[in-house]
Structure 1
Amino acid sequence: MEFILQPWPWYVSGPIIAIIMFLLLYFGKTFGMSSNLRTLCAIGGAGKHAEFFKFDWKSQRWNLVVVLGAILGGFIAHYFLSNPIDMDLSEATVKDLNELGFNNVGQSLLPPELFSWDAVFSLKGILILVIGGFLVGFGTRYAGGCTSGHAITGLSSLQLPSLIAVVGFFLGGLIMIHLIFPILF
C-alpha cells in the first residue's frame, strides 16, 4: 500500500505516456484537451452559429474518453492516491507565499485562498475566472491547440510550431507567476 501513496516515478509514467503517444500516432490520432471542447460544442449545436464548429464531430468521439479519463483520474487521485502529509517546502517559498496572503502553506495542494467557494464567488475570483477563461480560450485557438496537445502530441511528432508554442507557454507562466500574480495578490 505504501507504493500506491507515492507519485509514480518518471521511469513508469514516462514510458506509459510514450506508448500511448506511439499508438495514437500509429493510428493517425492526435491528443489534446482543447479539441475535446470543440467536439463538445459541435455536439451541442455550436456549428449553427460559428464556422469553426462545423466539422465531423463523430470522428472525434473516441477523444471524449480523454475527458472522462481526466475526470475519473482526478477523482481517483484525490480520494484514493493522495498522501495527506504536509508538503516539505523551502522556507523561502513559505515566506513568499505568506507575504502574498496564503496561510497554512504546504498543508494543501489547493490553497483555500484560491480554491474555496468564498474565493471563487468574490469579485476578484469571478474576474479571474472570466478573464482567465477568455485568455485561455483565445490563446488555445490562436496557438492551434492547448498545452497538452502541443507539449505531448506536437513535440512527440517533432512539430516546430508545437516547440514554439511550448516555449511560449513556459515564458507566459514565468511572466504570470513572477510579474502578474504578485500584483493580483
Structure 2
Amino acid sequence: MLETLSQPWPWYVSGAVIALIMVIMLFFGKSFGFSANLRIICSACGAGKHVPFFDFNWKNQLWNILFLVGAVLGGWISSTFLSTGEAVQISQATIQDLQQLGFSAPQGMQPEELFGMESLLSFKTIALLLGGGLLIGFGSRYAGGCTSGHAISGLSDLQWPSLVAVIGFFIGGLIMTFLLYPLIF
C-alpha cells in the first residue's frame, strides 16, 4: 500500500477528488479558498477589536482552519514517509529552459539554486520571497480570494467574477513566466 501511495498518481485521480470535494462543499453551502485563513487567524487572535475587516464570527469558518492544518500535516506526512527521494520527472524542454536561465535540473523536487538553503542567504532571494509574498497577499485580497478559491470554488459555483479573476491569474502567470522571470534571472 505504501508503495502505491508513494508513486505519482494520474492527473484524473486528483481531478475526481477535487470534483467530489466541491460537490460536498456546494451541498453544505461552503466555499473553498486558502487566503481566507489569514483573515480567520487574525480575527481569532483579536484583530477585530482594532480593525473592522477582522470583526466577524470566525468560529463559523473553523472548518477552513482545519483544512489548512490538514494540508500542512498531509504535506509533511507525504514528504517524510511517502517520498522516494527521487528527482521529480520533468520534460527535457523544461530542463533546457531552466539551464538557459542558469539553473540545473532538479535533483529533488525543485532546483537547488532557487530553493536550497544556500539561496536563503542571498539578498536577491530574500527580496524576491518578501516581494512575491507581499504581491500575492495584496493580489488575493484585491481579487477577493486566491487562485484556489476562484478557480476551484468560484468556477464550480459559476461565478462571473471568479472567471474574470482566473483569466487575470493566467495572464499574470504568462507575463511572469515569459517576460519578468527571464529579466530577474
Aligned to 2:126: 126
Q: How is 1:165-180 mapped onto 2 (pairs within 5 angstroms)?
A: 165-180=165-180
Following TM superposition, by how much is the alpha carbon of 1:41 offset from its aligned partner in structure 2, in angstroms?
1.0
- List per-residue Cα deviations over 1:89-147 (Å, max 9, x = no partner): 444332321222212x0322222211123312321122112211111111001100001
SS in 1 for 2:80: helix
In the alignment, residue 170 of structure 1 is paired with which amino acid? F
Query: Structure 1 residues 47 and 121 mapped into 2: Cα distance closer, same or farther (>3 Å)?
Result: farther
8 Å CA contact 2:87, 2:109 repeated in 1:
no
Structural RMSD (CA): 1.7
Aligned structure 1 segments of 4 or more residues deviating by more than 4 angstroms: none
Aligned to 2:144: 144
Query: Structure 1 residues 88 and 19 mapped into 2: Cα distance closer, same or farther (>3 Å)?
Result: closer
Aligned to 1:94: 95
Aligned to 2:19: 18
Aligned to 1:183: 183
Q: Aligned partners of 1:17, 1:174: CA distance in 2, in Å? A: 25
Give me the identity figure in percent: 56
* Long gaps (5+) in structure 1: none
Q: Aligned partners of 2:149, 2:136: CA distance in 1, in Å? A: 14
Q: Aligned partners of 1:9, 1:90: CA distance in 2, in Å? A: 16
8 Å CA contact 2:106, 2:112 repeated in 1:
no
Aligned to 2:154: 154
Following TM superposition, by how much is the alpha carbon of 1:87 offset from its aligned partner in structure 2, in angstroms?
4.0
Which segment drifts farther, 105-114 or 148-157? 105-114
Following TM superposition, by how much is the alpha carbon of 1:174 offset from its aligned partner in structure 2, in angstroms?
1.1
SS in 2 for 1:4: helix
Following TM superposition, by how much is the alpha carbon of 1:2 offset from its aligned partner in structure 2, in angstroms?
4.0
* Long gaps (5+) in structure 2: none
In the alignment, residue 143 of structure 1 is paired with which amino acid? A
SS in 2 for 1:80: helix
Q: Aligned partners of 1:101, 1:49: CA distance in 2, in Å? A: 47
Give the TM-score taking structure 2 as reference length.
0.90
Give the TM-score taking structure 1 as reference length.
0.90
In the alignment, residue 166 of structure 2 is paired with which amino acid? V
Aligned to 1:109: 109
In the alignment, residue 176 of structure 1 is paired with which amino acid? M
Aligned to 1:57: 58
